[in-house]
Structure 1
Amino acid sequence: MADNNLRMMILHFDQKSIDATKGILQYLGYVSITGVSVPARVFNLLKSEKFDLLFADYKTISMYGEDFLETLRENPGQVPIKVILLIDSEIAVQDLKKMYREGITATIKYPFQLNEMEKAIEDSIRSVPMAISKTIRKIRELDFFSFLTDEELIALLKISKCRNYKENDLIFEDGQPGDRFYVIVDGIIIISQMVNKRRETVLARLKRGSCFGEMSILDGSPRTARARAHDDTVLLEFDRRIMEGYDDIVTLKLFKKLTHIFSRRLRGANAKIKQMMADQAKLKDRSHDTPVT
């Protein structure tokens, strides 16, 4: 879990919703929580106090105006804060894309589940602004994005998130819902499975430029393995909900790239199976040729 000393603010027009969200955060161990019902109050508080996270209700900031997140991000007189967007199931993909472009670091959907709240907080804490992390040049060098023009790459990065992971941090566990996929900007990722719930078997070591978890985008299936950081790692994260709004050339190109990668891996797996079957057949033939003494 993230640091329980984090200072948090909840923005919601409904006091009951503020109290409910605060109750969940307190149950998770967080103690410094401030609730406000008016967006202008957020700006006033940030002028004099430091907050780490803002839980902002989508409908509340929409009522304020489309420039809330832009004002929050660009005002030099305010303390920087990471934003978790509180949404319901009715938000359109285009609106969600816009929120990502405006700088939200994670989303969580009503009604809140404890594990989803913890994940949203962890995601936000790991988020690294592109301009600060200086990863754009490194990302341009990755073969994974070679199919995009510079303009298309920038558009794609605006609907992705850059996350930092430390050595042995868990990215996802076997059996968890598949709701996002990742591209490795720096570091090594270990893909593994637990045998008899005791022994970890390493399936793959993925290096810079590799992607993983892409099946979650293609079919939404649960994870079939665990992924963890072998060392300090920087990942680009792509949310399935964003990718489902494939109404532009960038997301269509991304789907094509993922399909190509999946097909290549499937052909590789088939080749290994054929080789194993051939090796077994040779061993069987040799056993038949061995003279009996």
Structure 2
Amino acid sequence: MMLNLSAFDNEENFGEEDVVRFMRNRSAEDWSALLAQTEIVQFKQGDLVLQQGEIDRALYIVLTGELEVVLFSTEGEDRRLSRLAAGCIFGEQSFLDGKPRSATVRAVTNGEMRMLPWSAFERLSDSNPHLALGILFDIGCVLSERLRRMNQFIV
């Protein structure tokens, strides 16, 4: 599959909520090495792609379509936290720590993403440690930006 890398550099794909792009300005070779370790996942509007509380140690990269991150309360009400478009990642917390998912991700439109299981990342890390380090740094930047955004909800 030929990936349109412009989605990962194009400011038009991102609203105020999604300002950090994963692997921005990386080479086609880096993307090829990463995508070789991933699985294609297609989603349809309304699908629950991830569910709060489930255990799944994988990172997801949105290629096309739009998703929303939703937090469900104990009363069953949902609160939309953010939207995700092409170029965004999600699932980074559980990917790193192996703990249950902290939110639900629901498809707003049809689309496609790539899933990077932790075991595949370990293989990538063995064969291409420089790229793996870059991926971890990018995930850290995404986490930092999302934490800053969540802090705005608190104050």
Question: What TM-score bracket applies, with the shorter chain setting the length?
Answer: 0.7 to 0.9
Q: Give the alignment partner of residue 230 of structure 1, picking from 104, 108, 114.
A: 108
Counterpart-to-counterpart distance in 2, 1:265 and 1:201:
16
Q: Give the alignment partner of residue 5 of structure 2, picking from 139, 142, 145.
A: 139
Name the SS for the 1:183 alignment partner. Answer: strand
Letter in 1 for 2:52: D
- The corresponding residue for 2:143 is 262
- The corresponding residue for 1:148 is 26
Q: Give the alignment partner of residue 44 of structure 2, picking from 157, 166, 170.
A: 166
- The corresponding residue for 2:61 is 183
Q: Do structure 1's residue 221 and structure 2's residue 99 form an aligned pair?
A: yes
Question: More helix by proportion, 1 or 2?
Answer: 1
Name the SS for the 1:244 alignment partner. Answer: helix
Q: 1:231 to 1:148 in 2, by over 3 A?
A: same
Shift in Å, 1:219 = 1.2
Shift in Å, 1:198 = 3.0
Task: State whether residues 7 and 86 of structure 2, in contact with CA within 8 Å, keep that contact through their aligned partners in structure 1.
Answer: no
Matches within 5 A, 1:36-51: none
Instruction: State the TM-score, normalizing by the size of structure 2.
Output: 0.79
Shift in Å, 1:145 = 2.7
Gaps of 5+ in 2: 10-21
Letter in 1 for 2:140: T
Instruction: State the TM-score, normalizing by the size of structure 1.
Output: 0.44
- The corresponding residue for 1:251 is 132
Counterpart-to-counterpart distance in 1, 2:63 and 2:147:
24
Task: State whether residues 57 and 96 of structure 2, in contact with CA within 8 Å, keep that contact through their aligned partners in structure 1.
Answer: no
Gaps of 5+ in 1: 1-129, 277-293
Runs of 4+ deviating beyond 6 Å: none
Which of 1 and 2 has greater Rg? Answer: 1
Name the SS for the 2:87 alignment partner. Answer: coil
Counterpart-to-counterpart distance in 2, 1:229 and 1:270:
25
Larger CA deviation: 146-155 vs 171-180: 146-155
Task: State whether residues 180 and 239 of structure 1, in contact with CA within 8 Å, keep that contact through their aligned partners in structure 2.
Answer: yes
Q: 1:162 to 1:176 in 2, by over 3 A?
A: same
- The corresponding residue for 1:157 is 35
Letter in 2 for 1:254: I
Shift in Å, 1:229 = 0.8
Please provide the CA RMSD for this pair.
1.9
Task: State whether residues 178 and 215 of structure 1, in contact with CA within 8 Å, keep that contact through their aligned partners in structure 2.
Answer: no
- The corresponding residue for 1:16 is none
Larger relative contact order (CA 8 Å, sep ≥ 6): 2
Task: State whether residues 70 and 79 of structure 2, in contact with CA within 8 Å, keep that contact through their aligned partners in structure 1.
Answer: yes
